[in-house]
């Protein structure tokens, strides 16, 4: 699947830029359709929170420290990456067996969001000291 920038709400970018935590790695979790993290089981955290890594200008987003299942009834539908005022998105098809996307981005701060068809949206923000 192609990775493409898509238009986003400008208030989202402004909110991320004003955040006081931008000078260190901060992870936060969002379940947009099911409430807050407090009600989640611990194993959901390990398999749903996006993990962001960088090697040069290659930014890799993997869903979960424990690999997330990619079956028909439980899977990651997409990963979005907010960086440099643009949103890049990778939509997964049924043939993909690993919830991982690679983007050619070298921005200092990125926000990754993954959508699980059962548990909803999960996000992580990461600040890189050097591009």
Q: What is the pLDDT of residue 110?
A: 92
pLDDT tens for the chain, residues 1 to 131: 455 544 444 455 455 555 544 433 344 444 444 433 444 455 566 778 899 999 888 999 999 888 888 988 899 999 999 998 899 999 999 889 999 999 998 888 899 999 998 888 888 888 887 65
- Output the DSSP codes for 12-40: HHHHHHH-TTTTS-B----BTTTB-GGGS
CB atoms within 10 A of CB 59: 23
Whether the predicted model's global pTM rises above the 0.75 cut: no
Phi, psi for residue 51 in degrees, rounded to 5: -110, 120
Strand partners, 120: 116
Spell out the domains of the chain, with CATH numbers in brackets: 4-127 (2.60.40.730)
């Amino acid at each position: 699947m192609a990775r493409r920038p898509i238009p986003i709400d400008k208030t989202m970018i402004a909110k991320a830029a004003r955040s006081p935590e931008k000078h260190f790695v901060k992870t936060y979790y969002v379940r947009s359709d099911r409430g807050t993290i407090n009600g989640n089981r611990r194993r959901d955290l390990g398999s749903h929170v996006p993990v962001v890594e960088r090697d040069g200008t290659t930014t890799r987003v993997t869903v979960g420290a424990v690999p997330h299942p990619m079956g028909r009834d439980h899977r990651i539908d997409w990963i979005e990456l907010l960086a440099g005022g643009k949103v890049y998105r990778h939509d997964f098809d049924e043939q993909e067996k690993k919830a991982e996307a690679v983007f050619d981005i070298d921005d200092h701060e990125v926000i990754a969001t993954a959508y699980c068809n059962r548990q909803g949206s999960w996000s992580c923000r990461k600040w890189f000291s050097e591009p």
